[in-house]
Chain A
Amino acid sequence: MPMNSKITRAPEGLSAGTASMSTAPAVGDSARAPLGPIKIAAKEVKVFYGEKQALHGVSLDIPDKAVTALIGPSGCGKSTFLRTLNRMNDTVPGARVEGRIEMDGVNINDKKIDPVLLRAQVGMVFQKPNPFPKSIFENVAYGPKIHGLASSKSELEDIVQSALKRAGLWDEVADRLHAPGTGLSGGQQQRLVIARAIAVEPEVILMDEPCSALDPIATAKIEELIDELRERYCIVIVTHSMAQAARVSQRTAFFHMGNIVETGDTEDIFTNPRERRTLDYITGRFG
């Protein structure tokens, strides 16, 4: 896929006029960046780890073809919420998730939904790059192989190549596809992991502080990549960095103590928050 798209930001200067404070996303708001329809609608999600309650009834609508940033201080529940979207909390012993999480109208927080199939549709990128101790090729081919997405070797190679291209890594690794993935630099590893997630053609990509282990240059590259990916996917990103949220996201949700304090277009949250706590957080008074 050609990589000629530029970083697109929500046009500046429009925010003041359209400071609609609805908690629902401004779907179809033509003045804004082109947000897609609501992809995921979480309703009253509660998460318990054993006796401890980590989320106290969180509701959030997440638009398609856009980046939604989850911000908030450590331990506020933003990562926990992210992990409910692909049922990763299932792998944590003693974790319990209550509430509805609708993806395209289907409740995915339902025993009947197979997490294996769900995760083929919802990819995830973690805080620390975690390439498998295999070759670059095998890392990207992992998903297509286990899900049986490629019927031939050449098809698999095509999938790997296009995933790597879309992750902006192809030019750097084309000549060493069979070198171990763990030998790449941190930023390259993170892009490899993104390519691995893309290779199964997901509809949603979850990112859990994807740049916190990276240097500024690598971070810039990842952010650029996220912005490109926005055209095709629904992206949810957890980040510690307010600047990053402002740079890459169109929607922002501020989490605090297991609750959502405020949701809105990124522009509004950062320029004109409604809640005192949001203001304190984004201006660095706590967190």
Chain B
Amino acid sequence: MTWIFLIFMAVFAVLSFWGGRKLAVRRSQGVKPHSRPGQHGLYAAIGVLAPALAVMILAAVFSAPIERQLIAAGAPEAVSQLEPFRREAFIADARRVGQGGEALQIWAAPYAELLPTEGRRAHSIHAALSWGGMTAAVIAAILGALFVAFRIRPELRARNAVEGWVVGVLFACATVAVLTTVGIIFSLVYDSLRFFSMVSAFEFLFGTKWSPQIAIRADQVGSSGAFGAVPLFAGTFLIMLIAMAVAAPVGLFSAIYLSEYASKTTRAVVKPLLEVLAGVPTVVYGFFAALTVGPALRVFFNTIGGWLAGGPLDGIGQYLLLVQNQMALVAGAVMGIMLIPFVSSLSDDIMNAVPQSLRDGSYAMGATKSETVKKVLLPAALPGIAGALLLAVSRAIGETMIVTMAAGLAAKLTLNPLETVTTVTVQIVTLLTGDQEFNSPKTLAAFGLGLTLFVVTLALNVVAMRIVQAYREQYD
């Protein structure tokens, strides 16, 4: 139905293009028109499509909420008494029945009988709304056509009007980016505020106990969860630290070698290979961490533990024997590998931005390459490299899949890389997947964590980009 309607609208637009064209030619006989016939045609097509599209977008956005309101408003007593979750499931099933399908759930006495009638009602509301929307769109299109037919004259500056519309559309596209930011901030802040109305922000930011398990029913034991996010921040920080300990030296030295030492052919081979490393999806790194690196490191530490146990270092040996797959070291190290190409390519750009004249100056003084790098290039590039590392830190903090698959769920306040820790992103995924309920602090806590994550990474990015920008301008 929708498709037929869309095709109909497209045909309407094409017809109005031809109509506008013809009209322009006929009305401008003997006169030199301002714009060419094709431009009048475009003017006509836009005049028809723009109002119709506006109506269609409004209808698409608002028909779903209106439909829900209407269905809820007219529902029988028994249905409106249901819990929100059950009510949604009932309405969904009613729709299925209304369209001739089968219900997914088995409904008890009053509801089973209500299914067909409610289904028909829901269906008719849906049909009425979609027909209403389409009719409104067609009316808007016809009004647009009349307006255009009236306006087309030789003096009409059709080209300017069309170009005005084009620029308007381009501008609208550019604002999508801003709207995305607004959407992110709004959705995070809205649900975070609801969360902070249940759990104090102070407890969230400075509490040291995290156990978001809240009982479904109030009479269950341990019904109040604990939402102190400090162990999460500590775990995130620990894993970020390990990742940077891997990525910063390896990435930086790779960049130095590539930009200062490597021959053209080496660069031509190594750079694309590093790009492959950068292009590997994070879920693949997660798999690698969970099933290859984790077990390998566990075996490694357990073996060392086996040697040490019983000896003078028995305590350490016993500890190492109990090391698990899911340690902070595994997630951190693999995340570090993931960040190597990121650090390396950013630093490479930064090093290349250092003017050749500084290198020449140093070489002409009789400095070796490493002296030039260490004493001239690195000090000169320091701000840029610091910015690049900050961007990498921001990525490490926001990275989700590796930690979800390879770090654990235990919220421990530790800096021991062999312990299982959890991170902000892991908890967001855990809280929002699996069984969840709306409006419980458990679900809303994810948005609180998301807001924290967004603010921290945004701050890091802004600072890092400022630094890099200032650095680049220095040598422009």
Contact = CB atoms under 8 A, between A and B. Distances in A.
Interface of A: 86, 88, 91, 93, 115-120, 123-124, 126, 128, 130-134, 142-143, 146-147, 193, 196-197, 200, 206
Interface stretch (B26-34, B81-89, B355-363, B388-396): B355-363
Given A132-B358, A134-B379, A146 B371 contact: yes
Given A142-B375, A146-B366, A200-B365, A133 B357 contact: no
Interface string B344-376: 000000000001011111111111100100011
A128 B375 CA distance: 20
B380 interface: yes
A123 B264 contact: no
Contact of B360 (A123, A126, A143, A146): A126
Contact of A146 (B264, B365, B380): B365
29 contacts: A88-B360, A88-B363, A116-B367, A117-B366, A119-B363, A119-B365, A120-B366, A123-B365, A124-B360, A124-B364, A128-B357, A130-B355, A130-B357, A130-B358, A130-B360, A132-B362, A132-B375, A133-B358, A142-B362, A142-B365, A142-B376, A143-B366, A146-B366, A146-B371, A146-B375, A196-B365, A200-B365, A200-B366, A206-B364
A150 B371 CA distance: 17
B220 interface: no
Contacts of A206: 364
A132 B366 contact: no
B180 interface: no
A200 B362 CA distance: 12
In the A-B complex, the 8 residue pairs with the smallest Cβ-Cβ separation, listed nearest first, are A119-B366, A124-B364, A130-B357, A120-B366, A130-B361, A143-B365, A133-B380, A116-B366
Contacts of A147: 366
Contacts of B359: 91
A128 B358 CA distance: 10
Contacts of B197: none
Given A91-B363, A146-B367, 11 more contacts: A116-B368, A119-B365, A124-B364, A126-B364, A130-B357, A133-B358, A134-B379, A142-B367, A143-B365, A146-B365, A146-B368
A93 B264 contact: yes
Given A88-B360, A93-B264, A193-B361, A133 B379 contact: yes
B362 A91 contact: no
B105 interface: no
B263 interface: yes
Given A130-B357, A132-B358, A123 B364 contact: yes
Nearest to B355: A130
Contacts, number: 69
A132 B357 contact: no
A46 to B, nearest CB: 22
Nearest to B357: A130
Contacts of B371: 146
Nearest to A87: B363
Given A126-B360, A130-B357, A132-B380, A118 B365 contact: no
A221 B304 CA distance: 71
Nearest to B364: A124
Contacts of A134: 379
A128 B475 CA distance: 13
Given A133-B379, A134-B379, A146-B375, A91 B365 contact: no
Contacts of A133: 358, 379-380
Nearest to B360: A126
A126 B361 contact: yes
A265 to B, nearest CB: 28
B368 to A, nearest CB: 6
B364 to A, nearest CB: 4
A227 B90 CA distance: 98
B368 A93 contact: no
Nearest to B359: A91
A134 B375 CA distance: 10
Given A118-B366, A134-B379, A93 B361 contact: no
Interface string B223-255: 000000000000000000000000000000000
A196 B375 CA distance: 15
Contacts of B367: 116, 142, 146
Given A126-B357, A130-B355, A132-B358, A119 B364 contact: yes
B453 to A, nearest CB: 36
Most chain A beta-carbon neighbours within 10 Å: one of B263, B355, B365: B365
Most chain B beta-carbon neighbours within 10 Å: one of A130, A134, A196, A197: A130
Contacts of B379: 132-134
A273 to B, nearest CB: 32
A130 B354 CA distance: 11
A133 B380 CA distance: 6
Nearest to A127: B357
A120 B359 CA distance: 16
Most chain A beta-carbon neighbours within 10 Å: one of B264, B367, B379: B367
A55 B224 CA distance: 84
Nearest to B380: A133
A88 B371 CA distance: 16
A235 B375 CA distance: 28
A115 B366 CA distance: 7
A131 B358 CA distance: 7
A206 B263 CA distance: 28
A120 B367 CA distance: 9
Contact of B364 (A86, A117, A128, A146): A86
B376 to A, nearest CB: 5
A120 B371 CA distance: 14
Contacts of B365: 119-120, 123, 142-143, 146, 196-197, 200
